[in-house]
């Protein structure tokens, strides 16, 4: 019986679509074409080498599961990559195995771990009978080397590095890292674990989300293995709990975590926690746990400033071997201001557009992509973006706007930037002044009054403001 490769791939796409975001599906899976199926090998065609490498890096496990579900456990995958040469496009087939080192090799039931001749259950379902076999659940890509330091995260990064070099031996226990989503908390937490593992190979480091911790606890109660669950976590040398705020309202899970926390802290083990809020602002967490969160250091991670955003993009492109024009990097950094995840998403979208359409990455392409990206992304206008728009409008270098010069046209542009910063952002007057050359809050208030007065008395000036407002609204 001849199998229909189109129907098989359509069924694979149904599985994939249920497991990725709509944007990711459109970007990375809709352009794929199925070519044939033979001897349980499905061949799919992808538009470029970059496209193939991205799928291999990020989606091979999902692709493998989908293919095996439709073709059986012997199912395999091959790529046909369109490679350009001087004589025209030519498909080149690259054989890819259906399993790789990134797949978790977990059995369907938990295997026991033996510690001090006592057998307990391992909630991570990882093969092995000894403590050293506990996998850390860390992503090697989230290292300190790949973490870009800036004013927005310097305290948290420095404290994290100290903890990694001396787990349980600093005043930062627990180390509580907090900040809004997408600012790098999980990256930093995992970097601490990776560095600690390198420094102390015999220590057991474990990274787990609070959500997964909760699900494991529920499962252990259901199977009458709650004691095993507690004993497992009590033997960890460095416990990293991500998104601890998700324990809110889960009283039983908080009780068991309180017990584990106390044991680890009393025995000199290191605890690292991340949250979207500072301990003092957390709701639904028991007071006794909150008090323990405050025992060590609470370090915040803030939105990256312009220089940090540029550094992040440069780091990302360097590690991927991509040569991005400086004006493109600057434009992305000016345009995407809310968080690191969104910034990296914009870069990925730009690379995908260039790869799919076989276009060079130019400032014009970046502007087209950002226009589409922005329509689907809600975010606050930033001071950096406002300054960029004002400087472009008056054809001034950004450095001049931030300088101490008293030239009339520079002073006026600076006042307009302050006016829009106060109107369109939630930043304090002091913060606005700091961004505009280190001015104080009184100078910012004076600038806003001046702009308002000129708008009422000078038609040409009012036209400037109206045109700039239109440009701001494109943000």
Domain 383-473 has CATH 1.10.1750.10: yes
Of 466 and 1, the one with more pLDDT: 466
Please, which pLDDT band fits residue 320 given cuts at 50, 70 and 90?
Answer: low
CATH 1.10.8.60 residue spans of the chain: 306-375
Q: Which two tokens stand for residue 265?
A: 């802290």
Q: What is the pLDDT of residue 121?
A: 54
Q: Residues 207-217: what's their mean pLDDT?
A: 89
**What is the structure's pLDDT at 373?**
60
**What's the CATH class of domain 306-375?**
mainly alpha
Question: What is the value of pTM for the model shown?
Answer: 0.52
Tell which wins on pLDDT, 225 or 102.
Answer: 225
Note the pLDDT tens digit of each residue in 26-82.
878 888 888 888 888 888 888 776 677 778 777 888 888 888 888 888 888 888 876
Q: Which CATH class is domain 128-300?
A: alpha beta
Where are the domain boundaries for CATH 3.30.300.180 in the chain? 5-96
Where in the chain do CATH 1.10.1750.10 domains reside?
383-473
Q: What is the pLDDT of residues 66-123, one digit of tens each?
A: 888 888 888 888 888 765 443 344 444 444 444 443 333 333 334 444 444 444 455 5
Q: Where does CATH 3.40.50.300 sit in the chain?
A: 128-300
Q: Which CATH number fits domain 5-96: 3.40.50.2000, 3.20.20.70, 3.30.300.180, 3.90.650.10?
A: 3.30.300.180
């Amino acid at each position: 019986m001849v199998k229909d490769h189109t129907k098989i791939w359509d069924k694979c796409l149904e599985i994939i679509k249920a497991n990725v975001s709509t944007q990711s599906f459109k970007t990375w899976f809709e352009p794929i074409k199925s070519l044939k199926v033979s001897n349980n090998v499905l061949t799919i065609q992808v538009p470029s080498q970059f496209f193939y490498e991205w799928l291999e890096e990020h989606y091979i496990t999902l692709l493998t599961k989908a293919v095996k579900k439709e073709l059986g456990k012997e199912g395999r995958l091959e790529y046909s990559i369109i490679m350009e040469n001087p004589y025209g496009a030519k498909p080149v087939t690259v054989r890819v195995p259906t399993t790789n080192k990134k797949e978790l090799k977990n059995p369907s039931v938990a295997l026991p771990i033996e510690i001090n001749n006592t057998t307990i259950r391992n909630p991570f379902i990882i093969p092995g009978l000894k403590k050293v076999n506990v996998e850390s659940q860390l992503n090697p890509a989230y290292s300190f080397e790949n973490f870009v330091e800036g004013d927005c995260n310097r305290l948290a990064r420095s404290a994290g590095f100290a903890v990694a070099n001396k787990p349980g031996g600093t005043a930062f226990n627990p180390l509580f890292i907090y900040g809004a989503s997408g600012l790098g908390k999980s990256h930093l937490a995992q970097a601490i674990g990776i560095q600690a593992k390198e420094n102390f190979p015999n220590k057991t480091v474990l990274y787990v989300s609070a959500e997964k911790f909760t699900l494991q606890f529920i499962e252990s109660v259901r199977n009458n293995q709650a004691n095993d669950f507690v004993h497992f976590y009590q033997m960890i040398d460095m416990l990293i709990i991500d998104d601890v705020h998700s324990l809110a309202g889960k009283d039983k899970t908080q009780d068991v975590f309180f017990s584990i926390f106390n044991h680890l802290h009393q025995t000199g083990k290191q605890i690292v926690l991340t949250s979207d809020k500072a301990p003092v602002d957390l709701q639904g967490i028991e007071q006794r746990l909150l008090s323990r969160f405050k025992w060590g250091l609470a370090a915040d991670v803030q939105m990256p400033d312009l220089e940090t955003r540029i550094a992040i993009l440069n780091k990302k492109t360097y590690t991927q071997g991509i040569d991005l024009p400086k004006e493109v990097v600057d434009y992305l950094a000016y345009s995407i201001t809310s968080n690191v995840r969104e910034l990296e998403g914009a870069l990925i979208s730009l690379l995908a557009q260039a790869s799919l359409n076989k276009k060079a990455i130019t400032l014009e392409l970046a502007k087209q992509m950002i226009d589409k990206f922005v329509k689907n992304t809600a975010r606050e206008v930033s001071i950096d973006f406002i300054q960029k728009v004002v400087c472009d409008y008056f054809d001034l270098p950004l450095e001049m706007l931030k300088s101490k010069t008293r030239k009339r046209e520079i002073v006026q542009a600076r006042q307009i930037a302050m006016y829009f910063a106060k109107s369109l952002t939630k930043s304090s007057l002091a913060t606005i002044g700091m961004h505009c050359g280190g001015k104080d809050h009184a100078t910012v208030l004076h600038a806003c009054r001046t702009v308002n007065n000129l708008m009422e008395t000078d038609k040409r000036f009012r036209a400037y403001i109206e045109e700039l407002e239109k440009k701001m609204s494109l943000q």
